[in-house]
Structure 1
Amino acid sequence: MSENQNLLAEQRRALILDEVRRRGGVRVNELTRRLNVSDMTIRRDLDALARQGVIEKVHGGAVPVVEASTHEPGFEAKSALELSAKEDIARTAAAMAQPGSAIALSGGTTTYALARHLLEVPDLTVVTNSVRVADVFHDAQRPASGRAARPGTATVVLTGGVRTPSDSLVGPVADRAIDSLHFDLLFLGVHGISAEAGLSTPNLAEAETNRRFVRSARRVVVVADHTKWGTVGLSSFATLDEVDAFVTDAGLTAGAREEITEHLPGLVVAGEAREPQESREAHGAREAAGETVHPG
C-alpha cells in the first residue's frame, strides 16, 4: 500500500514538474482539477519539488527554477503574482494619462492591469506590442450580452512581430513600427530594474523593441511591483536616467527607496501621498537653478 502511494506520488510530481516547465508556471487550483486530488496533496507535492530545487513556490502555485537572467515566465504564470500590488500600481499610473494623448504600453501583466484602468480615460491613442493589452481595449468596445460597448474608448494600434512567452510582439517588424511613431507617454513593464543594470529583460529581441519604445517617448513611466527591484535580466535596454517615474507598491523596502531616489527624479509608491510629478527636463532645470529638488 505504502509503495503504491509513493509510486503514485512520484508519477504525479513528474507530471507537475513537466507542466511547470512547459507552461512557465502552474496554479494549485488548476492542478487539483487536472489530477483530481486535494489542494493539500498538491501543496505537499509542490513542497517536495521545491526541496529538490526544481521549482520555486509562489503565491497560489509554482514556477520553474532556472537562471534568473535568462528565464522568461509565461503570461499566465506571471499574472498570478503580486495581484493586489499590480492593481494598486495600475490605478495610480492611470491617473498620469491625459485625455486625448498618445500613449504606448509595453507587454507585461502590470501593463495589462493598467489597460483596464485606462478604459476610463477618453480619446486615447494607444500603441502597444502586447496582444493581451490590445484585447482589453478590443473587448471593451465590442458589444456583449446585457452590456453596451464603450464607444470611442481608444484608438488602438497593435504592432506586428514575433510573439514572446509573455505575449508581447517583438523583433524587426515591431521595431520599425515603433520607430515611425511618437508618444506623449510610455508605460513600460519590466522584468528587472536595478541601479547597476537599469531596465532589463531575459529576451534579447524584446530588449531591442523596448529600446525603440523608450527612444520614441517624451515621457517614460516604469510600472513594476517591488519584487522587480534588484532583478537583472540578460539584456539591459535603458538606464535609470532615461526614466521619468517609477510607479511601484508599498512592499518596497526603505533601503530600496533610498537607493532609487538617488537615481530617479520620480519614485511613486501607490497608495502613498506624493508631490505632483514633473518631467526629467523640468527636474534638471530646477536643479541647475540651484533649487532643492525632492523626489516625487
Structure 2
Amino acid sequence: MFVEERKSKILEILKNSHRIQVNDLTEALEVSESTIRRDLQDLEQAGLLKRTHGGAVKVEHTGFEATMGEKQLSNMEEKTEIGKRAAALISDNDTVILDAGTTTLQIAKHIRSKNVTVLTNSILIASELSQNPDVHIVVTGGYIRRETVSIVGPLTDKIIQSFRVDKVFLGTNGITLQDGYTTPNLEEAHTKRVMMKSAKEIYIVADHSKFGRVSFARFANLEEVDGIISDSGVDQHMVDKFASKNIQIIYS
C-alpha cells in the first residue's frame, strides 16, 4: 500500500469512528507502529486530524454542531451507559436540572428514584419524564433552537434563576484541560452557566469522544464542576490527567 493510499485509509477509518488508536491501525493496515505515527504526524500537520495519546481524533471547527438526529445516532450505547450512571446519583426527593441533550435524555429514561423534581429546557426530556409518575416536571419558557430542540434565551435564563436545586447535569460538546467545557452556541453556553449557579452539585455528562475537543463558547472551567460522568471507553491516560487536576471522571 502506497503512503498516500494508507493516509487516505486512515482518514476513512477516522471518519467512521471519530477516534482511532495506533495499535488498531497497525493491525488494520499491516504496518509498523512507527510508520503509523509518522502518518498521523503528517496528517496532523496538514490539519486533517489531531493526535492524542496513543492515537488521533477528528478535527472539527469550533462552531460545528451536529443536528439532534445525528447526535441521537452517535455513541448511543455509551450515552445509555452514562445515563444509567448519572441517574444512580439522583436520590429520592432530589431536585434536579437536566440540560437539553441526547446524553441527558438518557438520564431521564433511567431515573428510578421517588418524588424527584426535574427542571429542564428540553421538550424531549419533558415528554420522556411525563411517563414517569414519580417525577414532577418543570419546563422553562423561551424559544426553541431547532438544531438541538432546546429552549434558550433571556426568558429561559430568568426562570432558571428563580430556582435552587440539589444537582444539575450538563451536556458538553468538548472537554480539554486547557479550555474546560465548551459548546458551539453562545445562548446555550449562557443557559448552562445559569443552570450551574442554581445548583449545589454540578455534573458534566459526556461520552469519551468529547475529550480533546474544543467548541466555540466556554461555559465552565475544569474546577467548577463536581465530576464528569463518562463511559468505559474513556482513555485511562485522560482519566489520570484529569485526576492530577483534582477532577474526578466517573466511568465505571
TM-score, structure 2 normalization? 0.75
> What is the CA-CA distance between 1:58 and the residue it aligns to?
5.6
> What is the CA-CA distance between 1:80 and the residue it aligns to?
0.6
> What is the CA-CA distance between 1:263 and the residue it aligns to?
2.5
Distance change in 2, residues 1:173/1:92 (3 Å): same
Deviation readout 1:100-132 (Å, 9 max, x if unpaired):
1110000110000110101x2110110011111
Unaligned runs of 5+ in 2: 1-7, 19-57
Quick check: 1:107–1:189 contact (8 Å CA) kept in 2? yes
Q: Give the Cα separation in 2 of the matches to 1:264 and 1:134.
A: 34
Q: Give the Cα separation in 2 of the matches to 1:264 and 1:167.
A: 34
Q: Give the Cα separation in 1 of the matches to 2:231 and 2:208.
A: 6
Greater strand share, structure number:
2
Alignment match, 1:70: 63
Letter in 1 for 2:136: T
Quick check: 2:222–2:247 contact (8 Å CA) kept in 1? no
- Number of positions where the alignment pairs a residue of Structure 1 with one of Structure 2: 202
> What is the CA-CA distance between 1:194 and the residue it aligns to?
1.2
Alignment match, 1:87: 80
Alignment match, 1:156: 137
Alignment match, 1:204: 186
Deviation readout 1:253-278 (Å, 9 max, x if unpaired):
12211111122442211xx3xxxxxx
Quick check: 1:185–1:217 contact (8 Å CA) kept in 2? yes
Q: Give the Cα separation in 1 of the matches to 2:245 and 2:195.
A: 21
- The secondary structure found in structure 2 opposite 1:187 is strand
Task: Kindly indicate whether residue 117 of structure 2 is the aligned counterpart of residue 125 of structure 1.
Answer: yes
> What is the CA-CA distance between 1:67 and the residue it aligns to?
4.8
Q: CA RMSD in A?
A: 2.1
Unaligned runs of 5+ in 1: 1-46, 60-64, 141-149, 273-296
Distance change in 2, residues 1:57/1:267 (3 Å): closer
Letter in 2 for 1:79: Q
Alignment match, 2:166: 184
Quick check: 1:130–1:169 contact (8 Å CA) kept in 2? yes
- The secondary structure found in structure 1 opposite 2:168 is strand
Quick check: 1:105–1:129 contact (8 Å CA) kept in 2? yes
Quick check: 2:114–2:135 contact (8 Å CA) kept in 1? yes
> What is the CA-CA distance between 1:96 and the residue it aligns to?
0.5
Quick check: 2:100–2:149 contact (8 Å CA) kept in 1? yes
Alignment match, 1:294: none
Distance change in 2, residues 1:67/1:250 (3 Å): closer
Q: Give the Cα separation in 2 of the matches to 1:243 and 1:202.
A: 19
Letter in 2 for 1:267: I
Alignment match, 1:229: 211
Identical-residue share of aligned pairs (%): 33
Matches within 5 A, 1:137-148: 137-138=129-130, 140=131
- The secondary structure found in structure 1 opposite 2:126 is helix
Q: Give the Cα separation in 2 of the matches to 1:194 and 1:163.
A: 28
Alignment match, 1:26: none
Q: Give the Cα separation in 1 of the matches to 2:246 and 2:105.
A: 24
Quick check: 2:169–2:205 contact (8 Å CA) kept in 1? yes
TM-score, structure 1 normalization? 0.64
- The secondary structure found in structure 1 opposite 2:200 is coil
Q: Give the Cα separation in 1 of the matches to 2:59 and 2:241.
A: 28
Letter in 2 for 1:81: S
Letter in 1 for 2:204: V
Matches within 5 A, 1:14-93: 56-57=15-16, 67-93=60-86
Quick check: 1:245–1:264 contact (8 Å CA) kept in 2? no
